[in-house]
Structure 1
Amino acid sequence: MPNAWSDKDERQYDHIRKSQRQRGKSESQAREIAARTVNQQRREEGRTPNSTTRGTGNPNTRLESRTRKELYNRAKELNIEGRSRMNKQELVAAIRGRQ
């Protein structure tokens, strides 16, 4: 857990991690989901220097549920050409075509 997290963030992280473990996720998956959730909450509350994510979104969510920026970052990982000119629906289609 990063040092920038408050006590509340750490409690939330532990609660989510334990919940994910009870749902059958591996320890590493549970830690990742918990950290992403806490960091997203911190971003939305304006408690981080970056107001937008640099990640690709939660891998357990549907592509349509992710932000355009998260889809763009995933397309970048997959080396999809023309991604900067694509809208959200086009990014979803391009990513699906590559997976």
Structure 2
Amino acid sequence: MPAGSNRKRERQYEHIKEGAEKRGTSEGRAEEIASRTVNKQRARSGEAKSASKTSTRDPKSASQRGGQRSHSGPGGPTRDQLYEEARKKNIDGRSSMNKEQLRKAVGR
């Protein structure tokens, strides 16, 4: 739990952590998820000393965005990400494909 937080945030942290663990997330990952969530809420409400621009100025939360930003940077998904997607789809010849060929093979 971050230093300087109040009882409400401590309860929120425990609630998020327990929920993540019930869903099968490891304890370490559950703590990370809970910490990040609580820190973002603290930043949005002005309780944190410092905050990133996305924490304070983003009108939508991550769950509301629904993955809108995932892999949509300048180059989209990386070759490794496309390769993993091709592997899951069992596409033949994927190991010798470049990024553009993988993109076409997986249908992006």
**TM tier, smaller:** 0.5 to 0.7
Residue in structure 2 matched with residue 39 of structure 1 by the alignment: 39
TM-score norm. by structure 1 comes to: 0.58
Q: How many residues align?
A: 71
Aligned letter for 1:10?
E
Contact 2:16–2:34 (CA under 8 A) maintained in structure 1: yes
Q: CA deviation at 1:46?
A: 1.1
Q: Which of the pair has the greater relative contact order for Cα pairs under 8 Å at 6+ separation?
A: 1
State the Cα RMSD in Å: 2.9
Residue in structure 2 matched with residue 8 of structure 1 by the alignment: 8
Residue in structure 2 matched with residue 94 of structure 1 by the alignment: 75
Q: 1:50 to 1:3 in 2, by over 3 A?
A: closer
Structure 2 unmatched ranges of 5 or more: 55-61, 82-108
Residue in structure 1 matched with residue 69 of structure 2 by the alignment: 64
- Greater Cα radius of gyration, structure 1 or 2: 2
Which portions of structure 1, spanning 4 or more consecutive aligned residues, are displaced by more than 3 angstroms? none
Structure 1 unmatched ranges of 5 or more: 66-70, 72-88
Post-superposition Cα deviations, 1:38-97, rounded to whole Å, max 9, x if no partner, equal 00000001111223169xxx8xx73616xxxxx9xxxxxxxxxxxxxxxxx5xx243622
Q: Distance in 2 between matches of 1:53 and 1:94?
A: 23
TM-score norm. by structure 2 comes to: 0.54
Identity of aligned residues (%): 39
Q: Distance in 1 between matches of 2:51 and 2:18?
A: 28
